[in-house]
Amino acid sequence: MTTPGVQGGLDEPGFEVDEEAAAADAQVRAGDVLSRDAHLAAAEGALLRCDEVVAGYVPGVNILNGCDLYVQDGELVGIIGPNGAGKSTLLKAMFGLVTIRTGTVVLRGEDITGLKAHSLVRKGVGFVPQTENVFPSLTIEENMQMGLFQAPKRFAERFDFVAGLFPALADRRKQRAGSLSGGERQMVAMGRALMMEPSVLLLDEPSAGLSPALQDEVFIRVRQINKAGVSVVMVEQNARRCLQICDRGYVLDQGRNAYTATGRELAKDPKVIELYLGTLAKA
Ligand SMILES: Nc1ncnc2c1ncn2[C@@H]1O[C@H](COP(=O)(O)OP(=O)(O)OP(=O)(O)O)[C@@H](O)[C@H]1O
Ligand SMILES: [Mg+2]
């Protein structure tokens, strides 16, 4: 049995998940892969990493309870997990929008824990929030200018790059973002974040609320962005597709990394299927 709706929609073959074979495959168990020592060793030289991050919004209440994550240059890393697990909080903590109580965030060897978002943008970190990620009253072009407000002279050059990835946006550059469809708005949001030429892009549920066809388009675009040289950390509610396109995935549960392995390994791990994919993927 294969997962319906994923074949053909993505730009590379071979992402079908054979659940029956996977269930019988006891060789690869994500739980075994989650040795902290192995994770630490693999995180050596990472482009961006967080180690034992504890963070929360309200005093005395921790949402993240010791999160580890890394992304190497060129990687596409996915984060899945139940609602309320802390996925958005983790991205926001990495982007300086949630106070980190203990633990570190390190970018190319530099400790960036606690730095504010605008400093991180300058250092090459881009972030697309889960909601309200465009300026609806501004045109597409103006949204792109907002993305580049710290380096306005580079507009033409960067707009060309973004237009190469999203030609439809260039064609409609004078249209107000608020009049675009949900999928088009996601492209604007990603385009805006790409204007500053980030080395790593943090995406929070880019396919949320979109039709299956538009979700496919978003996943294809995320892969294209990654292939254009931008490392990506993507939170996704569409767990199966996320695992199909990512190099490595993390399952976050109650503010901790429950499992981590390659996307393929996680997608066929019986425990992950039982605990997370069963409910998440059908949602
Ligand atoms: N601004 C906030 N103030 C206080 N608590 C918050 C805030 N934002 C999120 N939380 C709490 O933090 C916990 C984790 O929320 P978070 O948004 O990180 O989850 P998530 O894994 O992204 O969930 P979802 O899949 O629904 O997007 C939740 O219990 C939520 O209520
Ligand atoms: Mg979220």
C-alpha to C-alpha distance for 82 and 51, rounded to whole angstroms: 21
C-alpha to C-alpha distance for 82 and 239, rounded to whole angstroms: 10
Which residue owns the Cα nearest ligand 1 atom 30?
84
| Tens-binned pLDDT, residue by residue, of the chain (283 aa) | 333 333 334 444 434 444 444 443 433 344 444 578 888 889 999 999 999 999 999 999 999 999 999 999 999 999 999 999 999 999 999 999 999 999 999 999 999 999 999 999 999 999 999 888 999 999 999 999 999 988 899 999 999 999 999 998 999 999 999 999 888 999 999 999 999 999 999 999 999 988 888 899 899 999 999 999 999 999 999 998 999 999 999 999 888 887 788 988 888 888 888 878 865 444 4
Residues with CB under 5 A from ligand 2 (ion): 87-88
Cα(83) to centroid of ligand 2, in Å?
7
pLDDT for 251: 93
Cα(189) to centroid of ligand 1, in Å?
21
Angle at the Cα of 143 from the Cα atoms of 140 and 145, rounded to 5 degrees: 115
Cα(88) to centroid of ligand 1, in Å?
7
Which residue owns the Cα nearest ligand 1 atom 27?
83
CA Rg value for the chain: 18
Read out DSSP for the chain?
Answer: ---TT-TTTSSSS-----HHHHHH--S--HHHH--HHHHHHHTTT-SEEEEEEEE-SSTT--SEEEEEEEE-TT-EEEEE--TTSSHHHHHHHHTTSS-EEEEEEEETTEE-TT--HHHHHHTTEEEE-SS--S-TTSBHHHHHHHHTTTSGGGHHHHHHHHHHH-HHHHHTTTSBGGGS-HHHHHHHHHHHHHTT--SEEEEE-TTTT--HHHHHHHHHHHHHHHHTT-EEEEE-S-HHHHHHH-SEEEEEETTEEEEEEEHHHHHH-HHHIIIIIHHHHH-
Among 58, 61, 62, 63, the mutation site with the greatest number of ligand 1 atoms within 8 A of its Cβ is: 63
- All structural domains of the chain, each given as residue ranges with its CATH number in brackets, are 19-282 (3.40.50.300)
pLDDT for 34: 54
Closest ligand to residue 203's CA: 2
Cα(160) to centroid of ligand 2, in Å?
31
Which residue owns the Cα nearest ligand 1 atom 10?
57
C-alpha to C-alpha distance for 38 and 40, rounded to whole angstroms: 5
CA nearest to 266, candidates 255, 277, 280: 277
**Which residues line the pocket of ligand 1, CB cutoff 6 A?**
57-58, 63, 81, 83-89, 237
Closest ligand to residue 129's CA: 2
Residue 81 Cα: closest atom of ligand 1: 21
CA distances 35 to 80, 216, 257, Å, are: 19, 33, 11
pLDDT for 277: 80
Which residue owns the Cα nearest ligand 1 atom 7?
57
Beta bridge partners of 251: 80, 259
CA distances 273 to 32, 92, 194, Å, are: 15, 27, 33
Which residue owns the Cα nearest ligand 1 atom 28?
84
